[in-house]
Every structure is written in C-alpha cells, then in structure tokens.
Amino acid sequence: MDGESIAIVVLGLSGDVIAEVQMGQSETISDLKRTIHMIDRAKATCWQRLMCHDRELFDQDRVGHMNGAAPIFFTLVVSVDVNKLLTGSSEIVAEVAEAFEAMGKAMIPHMDNLFIDEAGEPLDALIAEEVLNTLGHRLGWVRTLAGLRRVLLPHAMDILRSTALVFRNHDRICRIFAWLGPAASPHLVAWLGLLERPLPPCMIRRVQQLSRFPDCARVRLAAKSALRDKGGHSVARVDELAKLWASLGRDIKALAEEDRYALEIYRSSAHAALCELQAQSTDLRVRYAASRALRR
C-alpha cells in the first residue's frame, strides 16, 4: 500500500551504516539523497550515487519499486566534485559550500584542486584570481562559511605575492580579501610589513589599493608605511618590524594550533629582519633600536 513505510538502510563502501530511515513507497531516490544530506551535511546530494543489487539508481526511481524484503539495503558512493562550486546552479552551489564547511580540514585537498591545472601545475595568478572572484560571486560575497574562507586564504596570498603584473582590476583583490574576512588581516599586515623596501614596481599599485582597504585599519596603516619607506636602514623601519613582531605574537595566541603556521613563518621573518638590521646597519641609532626591540 502507498501509505506503508519501508525500512531503508544505507551503507558506505566499507559496510558502515550511514543512515537507517523509514520512507514512503511513493518517495524517490532523490528524496533519500536529501535525507542523507540532512543526516550528514558533508554529503551533498549532487555528489551521491546510490546502488542497489549492483545497479545505480536514478533520482526519479521510487522506493516502493525496489525488490527484496525489508529492510532494503543501499550502498552509497560519494564522489566529491569541487568544480560544482563554479558550475552548479545557485541551489547546488549553496549546498556544496555547506558540505565543504561541514568537512572541516578535510576540505583542504579538494579546495587545492581548484588552483591547479590538468597537469597538476599551479594556475597562473590571473586565472587563480578569477577563480576566487567567481567563488565570491557564486557564494554571494556572504560572510558565512568561515572555515571555507580560511582554507581559501593561502591561495589569495599566493596571488598577492605574485611578482607578475596580474591584476586587470586592482579593486578586485581588495574585494576578495574583504570577503575572506578578519582572518585575512594579520596575513595582509605581515606581508606588507615584510615587503622589500623601496617597494618593487610590480607591487606599488596593489599596495596603494590596500592602503584604502575598507575592512581593517591595521592593513591600511601597514600599506601606507610600506609606500612611505624609501629604503635603507632607519629607526622607523626598526619600529615597524618590532610592532609587527609583537602584533603577530598576539595574533598567533588567538588562533587554534593548526592555524598558526603561516603567521609563525611571518613572525620568524620579522625577527630575522630585526637581527639583520642590528648586525649590518652602520647607523648606531638603528643598531641600538634593533637591539632594544629584540630584548623585549
């Protein structure tokens, strides 16, 4: 009878039970996929393939048409496809983004695949920038999905560090970093503080843009300091590096252990730059200022 429910057991490839549910005979495989997604948000419906008796089922197949005694066993195959973020409908993009967010750190290798070509080589910086810009548009530039945005941050920093003149629209990179959120600010401040002085010509326009970065005064201040610095050893440069070293220490303490590595590298670089000024400057005021900073 159509009103009777059927016991369904969904197994993973290793035989583990993923879901045990009751479904109406008129409900479809598409309904079952949505139920699985509700149980485990990391399993987007568009990634799911359901098998029964070695046959892949279609979304429109009805549960009541399955042969065999209850409970009916299905095998679930999940094929993660990160490209759905770039090509799927708005509904699919929202669901896939949510699924990646639910994965936590397990999403990292999938996100990395967005930034390599078919040969496994890193994308050209201009193309990588386009990927990030497209993701922002597809996800509506919303400030949810904090985990996904943190995972994308290293790729945005790679673009920023590119020595090629890659940006057709310098406003775009600011918009991308604003979307990536507050977690990006310490990375931007550190990158700006450690840039070569005077600035290389290929960096000037993007630093000028960051000097107007709307979301963080620290970033604007670091960019303006970099633009003013004409190079050479100076007490002002020592003060800038000392403040960067101290602020990164505070930023690192506020992070979870697994999120500290990149900022620790920046902080080590700031310390090394102070040591270099102390050892190499011929200006006694600079050497004294660097020595004091290193003793703090």
Q: What is the DSSP-derived secondary structure letter of residue 204?
A: H
CA gap 267, 291 in Å, rounded: 17
**95: closest CA among 131, 49, 132, 48?**
48
Instruction: Tell me: do 222 and 254 sit in the same domain.
Output: yes
Inform me whether the pLDDT recorded for 19 exceeds 90. Answer: yes
210 domain-assigned: no
pLDDT band at 1 (very low <50, low <70, confident <90, very high): very low
CA gap 158, 173 in Å, rounded: 12
- Per-residue confidence (pLDDT) for residue 143, from 0 to 100: 81
Residue 282 CB partners (closer than 8 Å, separation 6+): 233
**Residue where a domain stops, chosen among 39, 61, 78:** 78
Q: Global pTM?
A: 0.90
Instruction: Tell me: do 27 and 99 sit in the same domain.
Output: no
- Contact between 296 and 246 under an 8 Å Cβ cutoff? The reply is yes
CA gap 73, 244 in Å, rounded: 59
pLDDT band at 170 (very low <50, low <70, confident <90, very high): low
88 or 65, which is more confident: 88
pLDDT tens per residue, range 33-52: 999 999 999 999 999 999 99
Q: CA quadruple 22, 28, 33, 34: dihedral positive or negative?
A: negative
Instruction: Tell me: do 41 and 122 sit in the same domain.
Output: no
208 domain-assigned: no
pLDDT tens per residue, range 114-138: 999 999 999 999 899 999 999 999 9
Instruction: Tell me: do 101 and 196 sit in the same domain.
Output: no
CA gap 247, 59 in Å, rounded: 54
Instruction: Tell me: do 189 and 296 sit in the same domain.
Output: yes
How are beta strands 5-11 and 72-78 bridged, if at all? parallel
278 domain-assigned: yes
238 SS3 class: helix
207 domain-assigned: no
pLDDT tens per residue, range 209-231: 999 998 899 999 999 999 999 99
Inform me whether the pLDDT recorded for 171 exceeds 90. Answer: no
Instruction: Tell me: do 106 and 9 sit in the same domain.
Output: no
Instruction: Tell me: do 37 and 110 sit in the same domain.
Output: no
CA 10, chain centre distance (Å): 32
Instruction: Tell me: do 189 and 163 sit in the same domain.
Output: no
Instruction: Tell me: do 187 and 175 sit in the same domain.
Output: no
188 domain-assigned: yes
Q: Provide the residue type at 56 as one letter.
A: E
209 domain-assigned: no
Residue 129, both tokens: 């920038």
**Residue where a domain stops, chosen among 39, 56, 78:** 78
CATH number, domain of 71, equals 3.10.20.90
Q: E strands, the chain, where?
A: 5-11, 17-24, 48-52, 55-56, 72-78
- How many domains does the chain divide into? 3
Instruction: Tell me: do 187 and 287 sit in the same domain.
Output: yes
**Residue where a domain stops, chosen among 21, 53, 78:** 78
Instruction: Tell me: do 226 and 274 sit in the same domain.
Output: yes
Instruction: Tell me: do 141 and 169 sit in the same domain.
Output: yes
Domain that holds residue 51: 5-78
165 domain-assigned: yes
